[in-house]
Amino acid sequence: MGYEPSGCLIAFAGPTRKETTMTRFQKLLVLIFLAVWVWAAIRPSDRHDWLLENYLVFIFVPLIIVTGRYFKLSSLSYGLITLFMILHVIGSHYTYAEVPFGYVLQVWLGASRNMYDRLVHFSFGLLLAYPIREVFLRVAKVKGVWGYYLPFDVTLAFSAVYEIIEWVAAANVDPQAGLAFLGSQGDIWDAQKDMTMAGVGALAAMVITALVNMKYQPNFFAEMKASFKIKADDEPLGETRLQKLRGTGGKEQ
């Protein structure tokens, strides 16, 4: 385990050269996920809910595999993404409100409902904030504080978008399947609590990442401080930028 010069935590370090083929570890992740997905697809508790839940799988799994040929994440990120997707398809097999382990959590936490839905939303933040951070550091080249805040912020945004998708889908399908898809279990504040759990998970992921980088990155605090500095040649945007563009005919100087 180590860190990138930019502060990006790496575990199971990915390839150092550009490759278009999957590594053995990535192939193993695909096989594990496929095995769990096939199990989940066999006689699910509610076939309509299973289909609704798996639209996420049908869209994002191929997208991740295809984009991975051109932009390869670290094996750590792929492992975290795979773990989240496995948790999701388990929920699709039983429906989120009836996963057996959720009842175990209910007893442990003294809750009044099956807690698997809350666990997955927490895992959404905990497991996906780091891959999002890796994209920010490598594509947008963010540093310091922004390398921790922006992944947290975007994870919360994705969580909110998913809650909107749940609402739209549930309002336009069979009522029973819609209720199973929502997994609200009668809680009128379910969406807000789910987003809160995702935020807590993302915050935990970023705190853990920061602590590891703090330990192993010599210039950690210097980079955090530098991320607030404004460059000498920086200028306001908005109307200032518009006037400059109009003066140059829209051409960059």
Instruction: List the alpha helices (DSSP H) in 5-114.
Output: 24-41, 47-67, 75-94, 100-109
3-class SS at 195? Answer: helix
What is the reported pLDDT for 188?
72
Residue among 132, 142, 93, 149 at smallest CA distance from 116: 93
Cα(181)–Cα(53) distance, integer angstroms: 7
For the chain, 253 residues long, give each residue's pLDDT as a single digit of tens. 344 434 444 333 444 444 567 789 989 999 999 999 999 999 998 888 888 888 889 998 999 988 888 889 999 999 999 999 999 999 999 988 889 999 999 899 988 888 899 999 999 999 999 999 999 999 999 999 999 999 999 999 999 888 888 777 666 666 555 555 555 555 677 788 889 999 999 999 999 999 999 999 999 999 999 999 888 778 888 888 888 888 765 565 5
Cβ–Cβ under 8 Å, residues 132 and 155: yes
153 contact partners, CB below 8 Å, separation of at least 6: none
Q: For residue 125, what are the CA distances in angstroms to 129, 139, 229?
A: 6, 21, 29
Going by the DSSP 8-state scheme, the letter that residue 112 receives in this structure is S
Domain ranges (residues) in the chain: 2-247
204 contact partners, CB below 8 Å, separation of at least 6: 125, 126
Q: For residue 43, what are the CA distances in angstroms to 181, 183, 234?
A: 17, 19, 60
What is the reported pLDDT for 185?
55
What is the reported pLDDT for 89?
95
Residue tagged 């951070």 (tokens): 133
Cα dihedral 17, 23, 29, 35 sign? positive
In this structure, the dihedral spanned by the alpha carbons of residues 192, 198, 201 and 207, taken in order and rounded to 10 degrees, is: -90
